[in-house]
Structure 1
């Protein structure tokens, strides 16, 4: 699986050992509440994890994504596949 095809969970798993405490808080929040994060603004996400918007942006870039909109889109894409009709 290439980095461009990896889900947010896969990306977090790849970088988890190298995360700072603040980034680990963000990662833990995403893993615990992925649907909620998919509909949050970056301000809401950062506030919920008690970090700055800049830290949230750095976390997203650490996952190999250019910005928060792409991060949310990738999270939402995972739900679209999971909720697709059988």
Structure 2
């Protein structure tokens, strides 16, 4: 099984934890260049995966709101920092 297949199966929370681990390792800065590149590529895959999962969840929230006749369908938009 390829690593990308394993990543796709991760729940959102686990994917975020793994992404945070990759960022921590890259920020540490004392790893060889080849390892840094490998970690960066893994981090990019995890970042895309998390983004895709969030988009799917956002779509599900919109559908749920739309299906409830008492509520008005509104797109989900997280609050911006500082607002």
TM tier, smaller: 0.3 to 0.5
Tell me which protein shows more helix as a share of its residues: 1
Normalised by the length of structure 2, the TM-score is 0.35
Larger radius of gyration between Structure 1 and Structure 2: 2
Greater RCO between the two (CA within 8 Å, min separation 6)?
A: 1
Normalised by the length of structure 1, the TM-score is 0.35
